[in-house]
Structure 1
């Protein structure tokens, strides 16, 4: 049987030239074209935000080929994000066009009041039509090139129709409000994007690197891992690194959302883009500029902004058939009255009014304005949503599963007890606590488990000489073994002993298991140390560890319940007694203990079957499979963890467990905002269309109602930028 090659799935985010209209029909057409390219898995295109996000198999298609496909699809690629000055300049031009449209509309109206020559009126209205319809016409033409129709075309046709029936003021008014709401829409989306793009400004351009004892200013792209740079009080830290000299406090709010500065001393990790406050620091570089936490955050947010929410995807796909339906309704509104004997002019006027009222402009902008604002708001709080889809998913969560160590607890596990079994020392080379600790540390030195790290750290703190171990083997979630000085030494929990030593004649096993139970009853995690030698297999001692609950964990669980979460579960590989003590302390409903990594996945799958929408919160290292299995994966500590950024749907950059209710709360607030926006948009359409069909309303009133609802939903979406817990 041939083993299938693994799929090399990658993601690229490309910048494209934004288009002046508000429609995304052209984006949907480009998405379909790119989806047909071999090797492409998923595509998101937005001409409003100027981005293309493509998930693809790099073994089938290259990024250069995708760039060509985007260009062939009619989009203009930009090599980099438009800078702030350019974006503001474009917005000023749009605003100027709005002003000129207003000037032309008012000029034509005043000229009519003053009975000025007809040429004056038509010049004024002509200016209003040209400037007011410029961007909409561009968008309509681009969409027609893709053999599609959109709301930009609807507005242009309605304005021209008003002109043809002798209502130039109404047409000019439509184009004025259309261009005004377009500009406000671009401002709303641009403000959301600028809130995140400002992260780029947090990266200093250079670092003061120590070279031959002197400080030399070096561009950050030229600084290498291992270089040491100096940061003075008040400076931004240019790169990720570890403190080698000095003590200070660092403001990490811009990256992790932490409101209180964090103390830093030699050995502590620091992140680029954060601010050194009180003391001078010498820092050794641990990541190059393109791998730093702030750079990865920026990249992930760019991808997040380009990934559309499910509601937006649905609206984009329904836009064209909806617009065709409006055109059909408009044609019927002209044809039916005329067949019944009505005159053309009033029938056509009513049809144009109906076209304006039924246009879905407010529906189209209702979702991106809200979702992009939510992503930006989360970024300010150190919460990274990796796409609009996950913002909406967060609103649906009914159950939350937490990993214990490093998530609900500090993860700073400490070795508290090193106990030699009575009678073991006589046959074990004068075994004492130091000797037992050295043996355990030798075996666990190559393990990444938090208990092993605590053992090795305790040996280092006591400056013990740890011997070499060979033949290291690990049983995930159970224990480890290796050969030290010719003897095989096992360090493991009850499950490990039962699995690997259950059939052996182990001296002192019953006593050791009893002592494990005693220590676990005290709320500690305990393991046995067993040695195999020529004299037999003997329990030579046991180790006990403890961890502390994170501050605010209990309050966080209470907040989740206030948000409507039905069930909270703890998943851990630790023993039942320890897990139950932590669960009782913070208010957990259910405990699943002594789980292997694959059993965590099975448990999460079971929760999904029971509650449908389940969030899994873990540290992003050993919980990756469970995070991927849950409806919403939330990883802790993304500022320093590559796995967290790659695996989870949401990353808490500041390793702050109290942000979990914020994630769900923001999702729920976004859902309510979307519901309100869609109610406003569709409510305005239904109200105006119904009134037009039953009694009739003047075209200016339909224009005001249509464009007013568009402006209202844009501003309502922007309110999410200020969301707090």
Structure 2
């Protein structure tokens, strides 16, 4: 019994939003502190999404105590929506909280100004000037020293430890003014870093505000406004023109055009009829709709997107893993280098102790790894958020980086490069005396009784051309397995089937001209059928899976982006596959493939190119998607399987989003590399200034803060990448 209770406690997962994270190191420290709470079995911080998942049941007070070193504010996930609703009314309170939070910084700045005023008045530093700067250091640096000194006692060397030692050291050697400036610049740097990450997270927070918090619901013949948390599956929502849809559901009454850009990234509104699916957060533009709710608020497509995007931000990209590992050894190494700079020149080369201790302190400041630590998260969070706003769901930083390195892309044909819906493309009568409409009515009457997959295409064509067939009585209908169908109408027996069927029947007018017509249609990748009697061929009909209008353009853009190989994978026969492949413009065509053949081919091409992506529907192509470096599923909106199995999901059924995804991932990869290279290079350059003795605390803190601002601004450029 006790064991069951323990297991139950372990399974209890609570999610909290965190306000106040200034850096990734602080997030890691908070996670470590939370894990030490007795009622917590495990905890995991998601710095990108600014939240923590806690396995256990600690109080909010205990969690905030664990984050007291950073004055973190903890808010339970279930209160986040309520907080968002009140955000407008709380704006004044937020400004007040901002001033209150930074009053120490403002006070410190005031004392620094008084200190410099004292210098100007007195002409040199005296006891009053030193006291003014010392006061600025104590007031502005108190939160920093509180953490830094505690870290020092635990031999926990992070950026706050480095800054604490550097500022205290500066004060001890009488550099009060520079120590005070370092304090205030470091505080400003942290505030800007926090602001930058919040800016990067805004793309996700904007998704949270897309869906309305209330909906007009029909209950017991009355229409009432109901909060989304109180709406249940089966409720009927009334959505007026110009209103946003609050919940996922099925249209039960009405007709309209719905703007789905927030979910699928589609720029053009989509027509919605009875039985069509609609999503929470989309905009009803034209008519009145009545929608039957199919999902609870926490299960809606927009909720799943937000959850998956936030989880994606927690998945560390390879570059982030490198930075974390590098920073783990880098910070202690800087401490050692700073110590050596301070003591070796005076001991071995008769240098001035004051001068070289000062240089050592400057090394500590310039060695602060702020820019390096922030370089990757800000880029990953920004890129994933931008992708989500454009209808592309990236499941993690690792997939974002891998897509940028892709050299080959394999496409499933049906439903990806083609629409996946067969249509009648050709209908040619052989006998001039036959009425085409009457004959098509006969074909449709026969196909109506058939289970053949292509029958729906023929019936749809009859509906479009307003050809009636329901009044035709069919007798002696039967299916000719693997060959076609037959049935008697008005005393005449008609056959609809493959050319081979009519070869076997040895129909008299199956001449060379008819044979050439059939071959021509087959060479175009079309499934060709013949209708006739045992005495004469009456017409040839061709059905094909239509190529998406965008497919050729997408393949061209991918080639322009430098994708070396584009491969179409299909189960179709070679002639059909070649015809469609040539039309689309792929570099390679693989036909007559079973699902296991697709899997083996993806493995084979991956061994050749290293990184390969597979684009499919997320269901039939699951093995091949899993075997690829990056699996991309089409039409993720409303498709749970695609959302769960793919590494990247194109939310709308829009292949045109793929080149944008590749461009964005490459841009992100380049920016991450730029940021890491620049962060390390600026540190090395500043450290070289130690050799001639040119490195000062001013240069050190400006180099550190400047690098942080530059890599952050560089990462935020990913918000400006557009789908063009």
Match of 1:316 among 324, 337, 343: 324
2:196 aligned with 1:188: yes
- Tell me the SS of whatever aligns to 1:413: strand
Match of 2:409 in 1: 400
What CA deviation, in whole Å up to 9, does each residue of 1:507-551 have, x standing for no partner? 879689x9997753342246999xxxxxxxxxxx99963222222
Match of 1:79 in 2: 76
With the length of structure 1 as denominator, give the TM-score of the two structures: 0.78
Match of 1:621 in 2: 619
Cα contact 2:359–2:690 (8 A) shared by 1? yes
- What are the residue-to-residue correspondences of 1:640-679 with 2, within 5 Å? 640-679=638-677
- Tell me the SS of whatever aligns to 2:400: helix
Q: CA deviation at 1:260?
A: 1.9
- Tell me the SS of whatever aligns to 1:414: strand
Match of 2:50 in 1: 50
With the length of structure 2 as denominator, give the TM-score of the two structures: 0.78
Match of 2:163 in 1: 155
What CA deviation, in whole Å up to 9, does each residue of 1:178-223 have, x standing for no partner? 1112111111111121211121211212222223443222232333
Match of 2:556 in 1: 558
Match of 1:600 in 2: 598
Cα contact 1:250–1:263 (8 A) shared by 2? yes
- Tell me the SS of whatever aligns to 2:218: strand
Q: Whole-Å Cα distance in 1 between the matches of residues 14 and 668 of structure 2?
A: 25
Match of 2:8 in 1: none
Q: CA deviation at 1:689?
A: 0.5
2:369 aligned with 1:360: yes
2:12 aligned with 1:15: no
Match of 1:169 in 2: 177
2:121 aligned with 1:114: yes
220-229 or 519-528: bigger deviation: 519-528
Distance 1:72 1:98, change over 3 A: closer
Larger Rg: 2
What CA deviation, in whole Å up to 9, does each residue of 1:382-416 have, x standing for no partner? 11111111111111010111111211122333366
Q: Whole-Å Cα distance in 1 between the matches of residues 581 and 153 of structure 2?
A: 61
- Tell me the SS of whatever aligns to 1:342: coil
- Tell me the SS of whatever aligns to 1:548: strand
190-199 or 258-267: bigger deviation: 258-267
Match of 2:398 in 1: 389
- What are the residue-to-residue correspondences of 1:263-342 with 2, within 5 Å? 263-340=271-348, 341-342=350-351
Match of 1:246 among 241, 250, 254: 254
Q: Whole-Å Cα distance in 2 between the matches of residues 463 and 308 of structure 1?
A: 60
Cα contact 2:108–2:135 (8 A) shared by 1? no
Cα contact 1:246–1:281 (8 A) shared by 2? yes
Distance 1:619 1:705, change over 3 A: same
Query: Number of paired residues?
Result: 643
Match of 1:437 in 2: 447
Q: Whole-Å Cα distance in 1 between the matches of residues 179 and 314 of structure 2?
A: 34
Q: Whole-Å Cα distance in 2 between the matches of residues 678 and 146 of structure 1?
A: 29
- What are the residue-to-residue correspondences of 1:190-209 with 2, within 5 Å? 190-209=198-217
Q: CA deviation at 1:435?
A: 6.1
Q: CA deviation at 1:573?
A: 2.0
Match of 2:526 in 1: 524
Q: Whole-Å Cα distance in 1 between the matches of residues 141 and 398 of structure 2?
A: 34
Match of 1:5 in 2: none
Cα contact 1:102–1:128 (8 A) shared by 2? no
- Tell me the SS of whatever aligns to 1:242: strand
Q: CA deviation at 1:660?
A: 0.5
- Tell me the SS of whatever aligns to 1:578: helix
Cα contact 1:31–1:45 (8 A) shared by 2? no
Q: Whole-Å Cα distance in 2 between the matches of residues 595 and 683 of structure 1?
A: 51
Match of 1:534 in 2: none
Any gaps of 5 or more consecutive residues in structure 1?
1-9, 35-39, 55-62, 420-430, 445-450, 466-484, 494-505, 530-540
What CA deviation, in whole Å up to 9, does each residue of 1:618-660 have, x standing for no partner? 1222122221211111111111211110011111112211111
Match of 1:471 in 2: none
Q: CA deviation at 1:242?
A: 2.4
Match of 1:103 among 110, 126, 129: 110
Q: Whole-Å Cα distance in 2 between the matches of residues 338 and 510 of structure 1?
A: 104
- What are the residue-to-residue correspondences of 1:489-504 with 2, within 5 Å? none
- Tell me the SS of whatever aligns to 2:546: coil
Q: Whole-Å Cα distance in 1 between the matches of residues 575 and 224 of structure 2?
A: 56
Q: Whole-Å Cα distance in 1 between the matches of residues 224 and 585 of structure 2?
A: 54
Q: CA deviation at 1:432?
A: 6.6
Match of 1:548 among 540, 546, 549: 546
Q: CA deviation at 1:337?
A: 1.8
What CA deviation, in whole Å up to 9, does each residue of 1:96-115 have, x standing for no partner? 54433433332322223323
Cα contact 2:47–2:314 (8 A) shared by 1? no
Any gaps of 5 or more consecutive residues in structure 2?
1-10, 36-40, 429-440, 471-475, 485-499, 507-514, 532-538
Distance 1:108 1:73, change over 3 A: closer
Cα contact 1:133–1:156 (8 A) shared by 2? no
- Tell me the SS of whatever aligns to 2:244: coil
Cα contact 2:411–2:568 (8 A) shared by 1? yes
Match of 2:495 in 1: none
Distance 1:623 1:146, change over 3 A: farther
- Tell me the SS of whatever aligns to 2:637: coil
- Tell me the SS of whatever aligns to 2:406: coil
Q: Whole-Å Cα distance in 1 between the matches of residues 32 and 622 of structure 2?
A: 30
Q: CA deviation at 1:145?
A: 8.8
Distance 1:358 1:418, change over 3 A: same
What CA deviation, in whole Å up to 9, does each residue of 1:230-268 have, x standing for no partner? 111110011122223222221111221112222222333
Cα contact 2:48–2:381 (8 A) shared by 1? no
Q: Whole-Å Cα distance in 1 between the matches of residues 118 and 504 of structure 2?
A: 103
Distance 1:19 1:216, change over 3 A: closer
Cα contact 1:133–1:179 (8 A) shared by 2? no
Cα contact 1:554–1:587 (8 A) shared by 2? yes
Match of 2:566 among 556, 561, 568: 568
